[in-house]
Amino acid sequence: MASVLGFFALTKDHRPGPEEKSEAPQHQSPSDLESMLVKSLLEIRQNHLDLAMSDVEALLKLYPNFKLAHLIRGDLLMARAHPLSTIGSAAGASQHQISDLREEARARLLRHLEQMPVNLVPKYLVQFQPEQHHAIVVDTSKSRLYLFQNDNGTPRYVADYYVSSGKAGAEKNKEGDQKTPLGVYFITASLPKTQISDFYGTGAFPISYPNEWDRQQGKNGHGIWLHGVPSDTYSRPPRASNGCVVLANPDMDTIGKNLQVGLTPVIISDKVDWVDPKELAAQRSELSKLVEDWRHDWESIDSDKYLRHYSRNFNAPGQNYSSWDAQKRQVNASKTWVKIKLSNISIFSYPGNDNLMVITFNQDYSSNNLKNQMRKRQYWKFDSNEWKIVYEGAA
């Protein structure tokens, strides 16, 4: 009998071995939607159609608005009469809608057939600050959001979730391009259900797009959020938003409990790079020393030592390297002593740019004629075999 739902077409990049099992993945709870869906799809692959139908109907009892499950149930009913060549053969929906659901099935299935790397972490999470309890990492190519916990400054995997992102793909550049931005962002607000329309589901969390680096690159736009789905929908296709990252409402509710306004990083990549935690530890040590050297040289009131940390391509709000150089030399001329204390330092590597780091910290400045405190953000870039600051400003 032909493979129902064109299963090998759905998973053309995966070649399962003869020992492949149909049980739900062990790290998921039995009631988890995605585990139930994957279990039914694997049963279909093995032509255990009655078992698959039973599981899909159980799934629909729990999640009656799950369109993909309805589509699969229709195919299974049709399969009782004759083999089906592809997913959606029995549906009356448009081919565009069916194609979207096929892509959702493929994304959800591949997550479980291609398990995430064991004992590796995303390369972007170099260092949490103590107050950051969690971090979000999004892989737009896999339609996946990963939640990591701050475990004494290093990342520890908690869970991952299916997501939908921009209709036109990733790497947003301008207003209205329907792309999801790539970069290091932070949660800027929490919008409960009572403050938003039903379209955004049970809650929304705006992020800081465009960030400082985006603006330096001439990117614009606004209104990029993490948010849920309308109440009559369980999930959206992988490419369905105007640029936001969209989750099922139960997942949004779960994740929302861990998000901190102004603190939680949301790092969006088009392909997550995974590394050994030891590699992050070495990078953490290197970058921490660079920041400490910069702090020490600022305290020295030696302008040449201080300014050697800045790139000739440096920019700050309203300033370039030349004006920054002139201002700092003028300020230092009035100082007899300077003390700088840094705390709550976070370090994140920028997706798609191995040579760019986002470093944020609390700065407590005092001198013979001035005292102030601020939250500061710097972008350090590796160029010509050394790290230099290319942007600095208030966070």
Q: Residue range 280-290: average pLDDT?
A: 96
Q: Which CATH number is associated with domain 277-394?
A: 3.10.450.50
Hey, what are 112's tokens?
Answer: 């479980």
Question: What is the chain's mean pLDDT, rounded?
Answer: 89
Please tell me the distance from the alpha carbon of residue 337 to that of residue 330, in angstroms, as a whole number: 14
Checking if the pLDDT of 17 tops 70, the result is no
Checking if the pLDDT of 314 tops 60, the result is yes
pLDDT at 10: 52
CB 264 within 8 A of CB 189: no
Catalytic residue (one of 70, 112, 134, 244): 244
CB 24 within 8 A of CB 30: yes
Q: Measured on CA atoms in the order 184, 186, 188, 194, is the torsion positive or negative?
A: positive
Hey, what are 373's tokens?
Answer: 């405190």
**Residue 359 β-bridge partners:** 347, 378
CB 266 within 8 A of CB 207: yes
Checking if the pLDDT of 248 tops 60, the result is yes
Least confident of 80-94, 190-204, 213-227: 80-94
Please tell me the distance from the alpha carbon of residue 41 to that of residue 323, in angstroms, as a whole number: 62
pLDDT at 166: 97
Q: Residue range 231-248: average pLDDT?
A: 96
Contacts of 367 (CB under 8 A, 6+ apart): 335, 336, 337, 338, 339
Checking if the pLDDT of 83 tops 90, the result is no
Compute CA distances 214 → 170, 183, 389, whole Å: 14, 8, 16
CA-angle at 251, arms to 249 and 255, nearest 5°: 120
Please tell me the distance from the alpha carbon of residue 265 to that of residue 128, in angstroms, as a whole number: 9
E strands in the chain: 121-122, 125-127, 134-139, 144-151, 154-162, 165-166, 183-186, 191-192, 203-206, 225-227, 239-241, 245-246, 265-269, 274-275, 310-316, 319-320, 338-350, 353-367, 371-383, 386-394
| 227 included as an active-site residue | yes
Over residues 337-364, the pLDDT tens digits come to 999 999 999 999 999 998 999 999 999 9
| 121-275 fold | L,D-transpeptidase catalytic domain-like (2.40.440)
CB 198 within 8 A of CB 231: yes
Q: Residue range 175-198: average pLDDT?
A: 97
pLDDT at 287: 97
Catalytic residue (one of 70, 112, 227, 309): 227
What residue ranges do the domains of the chain occupy?
4-113, 121-275, 277-394
Q: Residue range 192-221: average pLDDT?
A: 97
Please tell me the distance from the alpha carbon of residue 224 to that of residue 138, in angstroms, as a whole number: 14
**Residue 342 β-bridge partners:** 363
pLDDT band at 153 (very low <50, low <70, confident <90, very high): confident
pLDDT at 85: 58
Checking if the pLDDT of 26 tops 50, the result is no
Please tell me the distance from the alpha carbon of residue 348 to that of residue 354, in angstroms, as a whole number: 11
Cβ atoms < 10 Å from Cβ of 281: 14
| 96 included as an active-site residue | no
The greatest distance separating any two alpha carbons of the chain, rounded to the nearest whole angstrom, comes to: 89
pTM of the model: 0.89
Please tell me the distance from the alpha carbon of residue 200 to that of residue 295, in angstroms, as a whole number: 44
Please tell me the distance from the alpha carbon of residue 150 to that of residue 129, in angstroms, as a whole number: 8
Q: Residue range 310-316: average pLDDT?
A: 96
pLDDT band at 31 (very low <50, low <70, confident <90, very high): very low
Hey, what are 70's tokens?
Answer: 């309805």
